[in-house]
Structure 1
Amino acid sequence: MLIRILFLLLFGCATWSAPAAALILYTEDWPPITYQHNGVADGMAVEVVREIQTRLHDNSPVEVVPWARGYKELLTSPGVMLFTVGRSEAREKQMSLLGPIAVSQTVLLARKGEAAKLLALGSGIYQRPVGAYRGSIFADAASAAGFVEVDLAPTPQVTAQKLLHGRYDMWVEGGFVVASVLKDIHQPPDAVEVVRVLESLELYLAFSRGTPGDEIRRWQDAFAAVKRDGSFKRIYNKWLPRDTPPMELRLIGVPPGH
Structure 2
Amino acid sequence: MIEKLLYCAVFVLFMLSVAACGCLGESPPGAAAPAEDSGLRIITEDFPPYNYINEDGNISGQSTDVVNGILERLNMKADIELMPWGDGYNIVLNEPGTALYSTGRTTEREPLFKWVGPIASYETVLYAKADSGIEIDSLEAAKKAESIAVVRDDSRQQFLTENGFENLILCEDDTECIRKLMDGEAVLWFGSSANAEEIAFKAGYDPAALSAVYPVRTVGLYIAFNPVVPDETVLKWQDALDSMKADGTYDTILAEYDLTEPGSAVEYGPETALFALMSYCDGRIASVQRGLETAAVTFEAASGDWQEIKPVLTEIEDNEPDARMWYSYTNGTYYTVVDGLASANLMNRSYFPLVLSGQESVGTVVVSYSTGKSTAIVAVPVKDGDDVTGVLGASVYLEGITEALKDELPGTVFYAVDKEGKFALNSDTGLISQEVMVNDGNTSFGRAVEYMLFTGEGSVEYESQGKNWNAEFRKSPLTGWIYAVAESA
TM range (shorter): 0.7 to 0.9
5+ unaligned residues in a row in structure 2: which ranges?
Answer: 1-35, 264-427, 443-489
**Is 2:86–2:152's contact at 8 Å kept on the other side of the alignment?**
yes
Indicate whether 1:88 and 2:106 are aligned. yes
**Is 2:37–2:77's contact at 8 Å kept on the other side of the alignment?**
no
Distance 1:122 1:176, change over 3 A: closer
Q: Which residue number in structure 2 is paired with residue 210 of structure 1?
A: 228
Indicate whether 1:44 and 2:62 are aligned. yes
Highest CA radius of gyration, 1 or 2?
2
Q: Which residue number in structure 1 is paired with residue 50 of structure 2?
A: 33
Indicate whether 1:59 and 2:246 are aligned. no
**Is 1:142–1:172's contact at 8 Å kept on the other side of the alignment?**
no
**Any idea what SS the aligned residue of 2:76 has?**
coil
Displacement of 1:188? 1.9
Deviation track 1:168-198 (CA, whole Å, cap 9, x = no partner) reads 1100012202112112112122221111111
5+ unaligned residues in a row in structure 1: which ranges?
Answer: 1-18
Q: Which residue number in structure 1 is paired with residue 203 of structure 2?
A: 185
**Is 2:124–2:190's contact at 8 Å kept on the other side of the alignment?**
yes
Distance 1:248 1:173, change over 3 A: closer
Q: Which residue number in structure 2 is paired with residue 119 of structure 1?
A: 136
What TM-score do you get using the length of structure 1 for normalisation? 0.82
Q: Distance in 2 between matches of 1:158 and 1:42?
A: 21
**Any idea what SS the aligned residue of 1:216 has?**
helix
Q: Which residue of 169, 179, 190 maps to 2:187?
A: 169
Q: Distance in 2 between matches of 1:248 and 1:242?
A: 13
Displacement of 1:241? 3.9
**Is 2:220–2:430's contact at 8 Å kept on the other side of the alignment?**
no
Distance 1:94 1:193, change over 3 A: same
Q: Which residue of 419, 428, 439 maps to 1:252?
A: 439
Displacement of 1:158? 0.7
Q: Which residue of 198, 201, 204 maps to 2:219?
A: 201
Q: Which amino acid aligns with 1:29?
A: D
Distance 1:146 1:111, change over 3 A: farther
Indicate the structure with greater helix content: 1
**Any idea what SS the aligned residue of 1:167 has?**
coil
**Is 1:131–1:151's contact at 8 Å kept on the other side of the alignment?**
yes
Q: Name the stretch that deviates more: 235-244 or 30-39.
A: 235-244
- Pairwise CA RMSD: 2.8
Equivalent runs, 1:96-175 vs 2, <5 Å: 96-114=114-132, 117-119=134-136, 124-128=141-145, 129-175=147-193
Q: Distance in 1 between matches of 2:90 and 2:172?
A: 14
Q: Distance in 2 between matches of 1:137 and 1:122?
A: 16
Displacement of 1:248? 10
Q: Which amino acid aligns with 1:32?
A: P
Q: Distance in 2 between matches of 1:158 and 1:248?
A: 26
Q: Distance in 1 between matches of 2:61 and 2:203?
A: 18
**Is 2:122–2:221's contact at 8 Å kept on the other side of the alignment?**
yes
**Is 1:96–1:206's contact at 8 Å kept on the other side of the alignment?**
yes
Q: Which amino acid aligns with 2:169?
A: D
**Any idea what SS the aligned residue of 2:161 has?**
helix
Distance 1:59 1:132, change over 3 A: same
Q: Which residue number in structure 1 is paired with residue 378 of structure 2?
A: none
**Any idea what SS the aligned residue of 1:158 has?**
helix
Q: Which residue number in structure 2 is paired with residue 14 of structure 1?
A: none
Deviation track 1:62-112 (CA, whole Å, cap 9, x = no partner) reads 111121221111111111110011111121111011111111111011111
Q: Which residue number in structure 2 is paired with residue 9 of structure 1?
A: none
Distance 1:120 1:139, change over 3 A: closer
Q: Which residue number in structure 2 is paired with residue 16 of structure 1?
A: none
**Any idea what SS the aligned residue of 2:109 has?**
helix
Distance 1:234 1:131, change over 3 A: same
Q: Distance in 1 between matches of 2:220 and 2:262?
A: 13
Q: Distance in 2 between matches of 1:201 and 1:247?
A: 8
Q: Which residue of 54, 70, 92 maps to 2:88?
A: 70
Distance 1:31 1:126, change over 3 A: same
Displacement of 1:242? 5.2
**Any idea what SS the aligned residue of 1:47 has?**
helix
Q: Which amino acid aligns with 1:223?
A: L
Distance 1:170 1:29, change over 3 A: same
**Is 2:149–2:168's contact at 8 Å kept on the other side of the alignment?**
yes
**Any idea what SS the aligned residue of 2:204 has?**
coil
What TM-score do you get using the length of structure 2 for normalisation? 0.45
Displacement of 1:148? 2.9
**Is 1:138–1:174's contact at 8 Å kept on the other side of the alignment?**
no
Displacement of 1:240? 2.9
Q: Which residue number in structure 1 is paired with residue 97 of structure 2?
A: 79
Displacement of 1:243? 7.0
How many residue pairs get aligned? The number is 235
Over the matched positions of the two proteins, sequence identity in percent amounts to 26
